[in-house]
Structure 1
Amino acid sequence: MTAADWHQLLLIGFGVASVAVFVTLRWGTKTAYGRHDTGQSAWWWGPRVPTRAAWVLMEMPASLAFAAFFFLGDRALEAAPLVFLALWQAHYLQRSFIYPFR
């Protein structure tokens, strides 16, 4: 299977999953998170996570995983890619680890 085949398969999978999630959330079950949280979340949604911790966990991969994959690349230590990495990291480190605690 080629990379293009995998890409096509992933696109189809994400498309099907997004339709399923939309239908489930629109007409299926009630959700209670963020500002809609009543404090009585249903058991099947899992444990309640404090807002700040949830924000950090949600945003953390954007900075840490990106940096890990970036440095696996062939041109990671060239000037232009490093500038773009610095811009990305400045944004996501602030968004992930500074903003939630301000």
Structure 2
Amino acid sequence: MEQVFQKFQKAGKNTVDELIKWMKDAKVIDATKDAEGKVRQLFGNENKDNVSLEKFKEVVQKLATDQKKNLEEINKNLISQGNKAVDMLKAGASALKDKFMK
């Protein structure tokens, strides 16, 4: 999961909003306002625009414990979905670059 997070970080997508979207897409949390609000609380005073890997891992661990889910399974889902998201970011950047190069 660390490698995928670092790709998000490199792309500037390690914001609380983007990380919550990632968790929703990976089915780690439900797509409800209640679930989103709880996750926002777990991030606490962390910089909302630049979440650290350590804080993200702490939040994921807490969610796994609270939901009585296997942390390895959650990490596997995050990696799978995160790689898809990173690929989409790369494809979008490539298309944009091609458009400007013409």
TM-score (norm 1): 0.29
Select the structure of larger CA radius of gyration. Answer: 1
